[in-house]
C-alpha cells in the first residue's frame, strides 16, 4: 500500500506521523495505517479518538489486556525502587519470579532473557552444549531437527532454518546444523534422527505458519521418540504459552513435559520484553558462569512485572477463560458457515481463520480496521483472532458479527 493510499481519509495529525514514519523508520514492517495513542484492556484508540478492538494482542504479548491495573501498579512501584543492576549482583525480585515460573511450568531451572528470539537462541546453545558434553556428539557436528513452516524469530541463526525464503534472502552465510521435516509427521522425525541429533525444536501450534495445529497425539509421540533416541525436546511456547491456548502451556493439552520451554511475549505483561528458557536439571546444568548472559536479562523491573503477570494468570483463571472464550468464538464462526471462510483452526484464543480462494486477506484486515477491529494476516490467506484473554463474551459476539458482516461485502455478487 502506497504512502498516498495510507494517508487518504486520515486526519492531519495521523497523516503527518505516517509521513514521518515513512521517512525515518527502517522499512521492515507493513503496518496498518493506524496511529495508536492509548489503550485499555481489549481496546485501542487512535489519534482521532476512534476505538478499536484489539484482536492481535501484539502476537500474545498483551495477553492480560492493555494496562492491566495490577501489572501497572507493580511496574510503577518497582520502577521507583530498583530497575536494572545487571547480573553482577542479585536482586530481591529475580529468584522469587523464577521460582514461581518453574513451579507453574513444571520445570527445574530458568534462564531469563529479554526477547523471544533470545530465548530460542539460549535453548539452541543449551541443547548443543548438552549434545557435546553429555551425549558425546563431536564438536561442531550437533544437529537440531526443526519443522517446515516454522517461525522462531529473526536472528541470523534462526532465519537460517526458516522455511520462508524471504526471511533468509540476503542474510547469508547461513548457520548450519538444522534439519527440517514436515510439521506433524512423526515418521519424518524418526527418519531424520541420527547419532548427531541433539534436539527437536517445535512450536506446539505454528502461529506465523498459519495457526497450524499438529495431529492429535503427535506431541505425545514426539516426546516418546525423543526419550527413546536420547534427544532433547524443546517447545517454543513464546506465542502459545501462559494461557493463550486454554492451558498453561500448549504442550499440556497432550500431557507432555518438554526438556525445555521457550517463553516470552505474555511474560512481560504487555509492558516489557521479558523472556526465559525453563528446563530440566539435566539440560540447564550444562551452563556454567561465562557461558551465557545478558545485561538486561532478569533485571529487577522485568522480574517484578513477570512475577505479577504469572500471579494474575493464576488468580484470574485466564487459562479457563481462554478455553471458554475460544470455544464460543469458534462456535459462532462455524455456525455461520460463511462462504468466505474455508477453515477455522486453533486452540483457546489462538484462532486462525483461513479464507476461501479469491478472498484478499489483507483487504479484509483493512476493512475490519475501518469497522473497528484490528488484526493481521498470517501466512497469506489466514487472519489471526487472538484477543487478550480478558475479553468478555459480549465483546466476542460483537467481533464475530462484525467479521461476518465485513465478509459479506467480499462475497456479494
Nearest CA among 249, 237, 271, 33 for reference residue 123: 237
Which pLDDT tens digit goes with each residue over 376-407? 999 889 999 999 999 999 999 999 999 999 99
Alpha carbon separation from 72 to 80, 241, 268, 270, 364 (Å, rounded): 13, 21, 11, 10, 34
Strand partners, 297: none
Which pLDDT tens digit goes with each residue over 167-193? 999 999 999 999 999 999 999 999 999
DSSP result, 159-214: HHT-S-HHHHTT-PSPP--EEEE-TT-HHHHHHH--TTEEEEEE-SSBTTTTSBPP
Cis ω before 173 (30° cut-off from 0): yes
Domain residue spans in the chain? 34-67+318-411, 69-315
Which pLDDT tens digit goes with each residue over 337-382? 999 999 999 999 999 999 999 999 999 999 999 999 999 999 889 9
CATH of 69-315, one of 3.40.640.10, 3.40.50.970, 3.30.479.10, 3.90.79.10: 3.40.640.10
Establish whether 265 is a catalytic residue. Answer: yes
Q: Which candidate in 41, 54, 236, 259 is catalytic?
A: 236
Nearest CA among 242, 248, 396, 257 for reference residue 327: 396
Would strands 232-236 and 260-263 be described as parallel, antiparallel, or unpaired? parallel
Which pLDDT tens digit goes with each residue over 312-323? 999 999 999 999
Global pTM value: 0.95
DSSP result, 285-332: TT--TTS---SSTT-HHHHHHHHHHHHHHHHTTHHHHHHHHHHHHHHH
Please tell me the predicted confidence (pLDDT) of residue 8. 44
CATH topology agreement for domains 34-67+318-411 and 69-315: no
Q: Which candidate in 161, 178, 265, 410 is catalytic?
A: 265
- Non-local (6+) Cβ contacts of 320 within 8 A are 246
Please tell me the predicted confidence (pLDDT) of residue 1. 34
In a 3-state reduction of DSSP, which class is residue 80? coil
Please tell me the predicted confidence (pLDDT) of residue 10. 73
Establish whether 151 is a catalytic residue. Answer: yes
Residue 149 CA to residue 205 CA, distance in Å, equals 11
CA dihedral over 336, 340, 346, 351, signed as positive or negative: negative
Residue 270 CA to residue 272 CA, distance in Å, equals 6
CB-side exposure of 255: number of CA atoms within 13 Å? 1
Which pLDDT tens digit goes with each residue over 190-208? 999 999 999 999 999 999 9
Please tell me the predicted confidence (pLDDT) of residue 336. 97
The pLDDT of residue 5 is above 50: no
N-terminal to C-terminal alpha carbon distance within the chain: 25
CATH number for the domain running over 34-67+318-411: 3.90.1150.10
Q: Which candidate in 64, 151, 296, 355 is catalytic?
A: 151
What is the average pLDDT across 218-225? 98
Amino acid at each position: 500500500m502506497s504512502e498516498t493510499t495510507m494517508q487518504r481519509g486520515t486526519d492531519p495529525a495521523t497523516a503527518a506521523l505516517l509521513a514521518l514514519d515513512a521517512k525515518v523508520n527502517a522499512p521492515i514492517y507493513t503496518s496498518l495505517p493506524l496511529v495508536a495513542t492509548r489503550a485499555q484492556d481489549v481496546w485501542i484508540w487512535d489519534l482521532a479518538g476512534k476505538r478499536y478492538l484489539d484482536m492481535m494482542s501484539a502476537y500474545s504479548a498483551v495477553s492480560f489486556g492493555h494496562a492491566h491495573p495490577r501489572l501497572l501498579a507493580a511496574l510503577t512501584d518497582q520502577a521507583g525502587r530498583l530497575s536494572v543492576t545487571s547480573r553482577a549482583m542479585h536482586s530481591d525480585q529475580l529468584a522469587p519470579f523464577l521460582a514461581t515460573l518453574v513451579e507453574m511450568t513444571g520445570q527445574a531451572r530458568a534462564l531469563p532473557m529479554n526477547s523471544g528470539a533470545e530465548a530460542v537462541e539460549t535453548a539452541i546453545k543449551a541443547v548443543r552444549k548438552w549434545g557435546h558434553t553429555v551425549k558425546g556428539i563431536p564438536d561442531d557436528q550437533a544437529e537440531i531437527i526443526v519443522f517446515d513452516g516454522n517461525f522462531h524469530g529473526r536472528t541470523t541463526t534462526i532465519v537460517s532454518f526458516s522455511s520462508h525464503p524471504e526471511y533468509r534472502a540476503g542474510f547469508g552465510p547461513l548457520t548450519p546444523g538444522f534439519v527440517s521435516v514436515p510439521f506433524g509427521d512423526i515418521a519424518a522425525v524418526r527418519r531424520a534422527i541420527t547419532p548427531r541429533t541433539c534436539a527437536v525444536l517445535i512450536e506446539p501450534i505454528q502461529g506465523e505458519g498459519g495457526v497450524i495445529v499438529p495431529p492429535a497425539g503427535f506431541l505425545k509421540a514426539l516426546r516418546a521418540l525423543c526419550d527413546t533416541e536420547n534427544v532433547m525436546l524443546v517447545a517454543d511456547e513464546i506465542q502459545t504459552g501462559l494461557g493463550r491456548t486454554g492451558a498453561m502451556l500448549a504442550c499440556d493439552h497432550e500431557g507432555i513435559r518438554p526438556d525445555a520451554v521457550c517463553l516470552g511475549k505474555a511474560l512481560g505483561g504487555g509492558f516489557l520484553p521479558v523472556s526465559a528458557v525453563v528446563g530440566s536439571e539435566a539440560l540447564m546444568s550444562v551452563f556454567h558462569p561465562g557461558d551465557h548472559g545478558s545485561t538486561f536479562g532478569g533485571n529487577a523491573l522485568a522480574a517484578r512485572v513477570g512475577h505479577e503477570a504469572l500471579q494474575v494468570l493464576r488468580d484470574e483463571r485466564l487459562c479457563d477463560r481462554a478455553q471458554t472464550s475460544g470455544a464460543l468464538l469458534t462456535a459462532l464462526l462455524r455456525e455461520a458457515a460463511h462462504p468466505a471462510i474455508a477453515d477455522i483452526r486453533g486452540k483457546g484464543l489462538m484462532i486462525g481463520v483461513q479464507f476461501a480462494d479469491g478472498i484478499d486477506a489483507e483487504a479484509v484486515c483493512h476493512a475490519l480496521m475501518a469497522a473497528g477491529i484490528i488484526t493481521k494476516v498470517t501466512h497469506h490467506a489466514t487472519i489471526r483472532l487472538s484477543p487478550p484473554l480478558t475479553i468478555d463474551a459480549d465483546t466476542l459476539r460483537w467481533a464475530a458479527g462484525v467479521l461476518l458482516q465485513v465478509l459479506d461485502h467480499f462475497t456479494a455478487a
